Amino acid sequence: MAVPAIELRNITKTFGSVVANDNVSLSVYRGEILALLGENGSGKTTLMNMISGIYHQDSGEIFIDGKEAVINSPKDAFDYKIGMIHQHFKLVDVFTAAENIVLGIRKTLDLAGTKKKIQEICRKYGFEVNPDQKIYDMTVSQKQTVEIVKVLYRGADILILDEPTAVLTPQETDRLFAVLRNMRNDGKAIVIITHKMHEVEALSDRVAVLRKGQFIGTLKTSETDAQEMTNMMVGHQVSLNIERPEPLDPKPRLVVENLTVVDQDGIKKLDNVSFTANSGEILGIAGISGCGQKELLESIAGLQPVESGNIYFIKNDGEREQLIGLEPLKIKELGVALSFVPEDRLGMGLVANMDLVDNMMLRSYTNGKSMFTDRKSPTKLAKQVVDFLEVITPNVFTPVRKLSGGNVQKVLVGREISNAPSVLMTAYATRGLDINSSYTIYDMINMQKDRQVAVLYVGEDLDVLLELCDKVLVLCGGKVSGMVDCRNTDKHTVGALMTRLGGVKA
């Protein structure tokens, strides 16, 4: 066989007492797409960060094209023609695409030449980039394209992409995959980290699986299937079907009428939105990021000033209670819970420097008349959440920032559900979560459905939305572009609805 573009030999990396990578050996060849699979915290990103110069291994060697390489900084990685596209984009908002692409290259600034070269790269692989467009004017997928062009511009021929599709619509994902295939055919070595099995099957040539920091093995994609890969990843048999029990006796619980929200800059974020959420049903909300999902949930939770419209909460006796104008705490007391998992997973809802107990207490500390906090019941709750959701943590007095992303989310969602809400709003609950944890969360949401809770589920993965939810409300540019029944809709219909209105370019 040919000499591998990258060969890792016995790489070990520890952070304090945590072994992130344990004796990992792995090869990537030119002209192939390798999918790197593994649960959250299995060490995929750490491994790739060592190749791209962000970390340095404790022991083991990296060989590039058969020669031992010492990679101490991202610059060293670039010198070996390695480029990594991170989950969080590293672009200057007020600069144009071209300016961002030349940033940091220490040569005479020649924007005209740069643009020509950018266009060449775009033509070669099938990108669409306007070099003069400012980053803040771009959609997420356009920003990602700039990131990819940036590393290609610098001559990278080994590309690493960390969960590139997490933020893309199906159409955008298809386009990205077409580009990646072109690059593979051009002889580049590509590593892609992803959690989505159908993407692995559609795109990759080989699959490498990590579990708890250890290298489990590689498979040819054509010779395996989602079930086998999942079992390797998790280490035991997992069922891949999301359950969808039939709703029992659905009754209107939350009625939104003609809701319009204008943000501080005077831009309409929600435009005349109306819908009804029923008890015992899961209502999915789909849309490209920034289409008003966040504003919708925040309006219902009382965190967002509303321009006009009504939001009614319907009590068990049929009485309507107007939510607009109520204090967030009052709305919470009615049983409306919101768990929003932001891009950085922490920012909202959790306090990184506080331990699990204090984070549980965020929702309950106002209980009781005493001026002192009660830490007993949050401690109990924290222990329950840790046990039930299998949160990996030394104990419940560990600051949340020390937990891995998936575990942080379990804590957040677990806390919201523990409130026994009658309306549960959850946004991106499985953002970046591995299969096993995601399924735990789906189960939790289904349990709420059984409890006659009206669930509003904002998600990114259309496959999941359509499998889990009863109905999906599609937003586009702040307007409702459709309400579909999930039992007889496919994802391309929803994808088309997401981009149908002229408000946002896809």
Partner 1 sequence: MIYISRRTDAPLKKAVAIKAFAILLSLVVCALVLFVMTRLNPLDIYIAMFKGSLSTQRKFWALLQNTAILLCISLAVTPAFKMKFWNLGAEGQVLIGALVSATFMFYIQDSWPSWLLILVMLVASVAAGLIWAGIPGYFKARFGTNETLFTLMMNYVAIQLVKFCIAVWVPNGSSVMGVLNRQTQCGWIPSLFGQKYLINILIVALLTVLMYIYLKYSKQGYEISVVGESEKTARYIGINVKKVILRTACISGAIGGLAGFLLCAGTGHTVSATLAGGNGFTAVLVSWLAKFNPFGMILTSLLIVFLQKGSGEIAQAFRLSDNISDVTTGIILFFIIGSEFFINYKIHLRRK
Asked whether 57 and 13 are in contact (CB, 8 A), the reply is yes
Site for partner 1 in 336-395 (CB under 8 A): 338, 340, 346-354, 358, 361-363, 365-366, 370-373
Minimum CB distance to partner 1 smaller for 168 or for 361:
361
The contact pattern for partner 1, residues 7-46, with x = CB under 8 A and - = no contact, is --------xxxx----------------------------
**Distance of alpha carbon 450 from alpha carbon 282, whole angstroms:** 10
| DSSP secondary structure string for all residues of 223-246 | G--HHHHHHHHHSS----PPP-PP
Judged by CB under 8 A, the number of residues near partner 1 is: 36
By CB under 8 A, the residues from 120 to 159 that bind partner 1 are none
The CB-of-365 to partner 1 minimum distance in angstroms stands at 6
Q: Which is nearer to partner 1, 230 or 407 (CB)?
A: 407
Q: Measured from the CB atom, is 9 or 154 closer to partner 1? A: 9
Q: How far is the CB of 364 from partner 1 (least distance, A)?
A: 10
Q: Which is nearer to partner 1, 35 or 296 (CB)?
A: 296
Q: How far apart are the first and last CA of the chain?
A: 41
CB 331 → partner 1: shortest distance, Å? 8
Residue among 433, 361, 386, 416 at smallest CA distance from 394: 386
> Nearest distance from residue 332's CB to partner 1, in Å?
6
Tell me how crowded residue 125 is: count the other CB atoms within 10 A of its CB: 19
Q: Map tokens 């009428």 to a residue.
A: 257
Report if residue 454 touches partner 1, rule: CB under 8 A.
Answer: no
* 328 belongs to the binding site for partner 1 (CB under 8 A): yes
Provide the b/e sequence for 202-234 (b: ≥16 CB within 10 Å). Answer: ebbebbbbbbebebbeebebeebeeeebbebbb
Question: CB-wise, 188 or 415, nearer to partner 1?
Answer: 415
Residues 50-89, mask of contacts with partner 1 (x by CB under 8 A): ------x-------------x-x-----------------
Among 19, 226, 303, 506, binds partner 1 (CB under 8 A): 303
C-beta of 230 vs 359, nearer to partner 1: 359
- From 86, 154, 212, 402, residue interacting with partner 1 (rule: CB under 8 A): 402
Judged by beta carbon, residue 308 or residue 353, the one nearer partner 1 is 353
Closest contact distance (angstroms) between CB of 468 and partner 1 is 24
The full DSSP string for 298-365 is HHHTT-S--SEEEEEEEPTTS-EEE-TT--HHHHHHHTEEEEE--TTSSTTT--TTSBHHHHHHHHHT
**Does 178 interact with partner 1 (rule: CB under 8 A)?**
no
Type of residue numbered 284? G
From CA 375, how far away is CA 380, in angstroms rounded?
A: 9
- Identify whether the C-beta of residue 423 lies closer than 8 Å to the C-beta of residue 254: yes
Measured from the CB atom, the residue of 97 and 350 that comes closer to partner 1 is 350
When the beta carbons of 227 and 366 are compared against partner 1, the nearer one is: 366
Could you say which residues in the range 308-327 bind partner 1, by CB under 8 A? 327
Which class for 317: exposed (0-12), middle (13-18), buried (19 or more C-beta within 10 A)?
Answer: exposed
Beta-carbon-side half-sphere exposure of residue 368 (alpha carbons within 13 Å):
11
Please count the other Cβ atoms lying within 10 Å of the Cβ belonging to residue 449: 26
Binding mask 246-285 for partner 1 (x = CB under 8 A): ----------------------------------------
Neighbours of 185 (CB within 10 A): 10
Residues interacting with partner 1, by CB under 8 A? 15-18, 56, 70, 72, 301-303, 327-329, 332, 338, 340, 346-354, 358, 361-363, 365-366, 370-373, 402
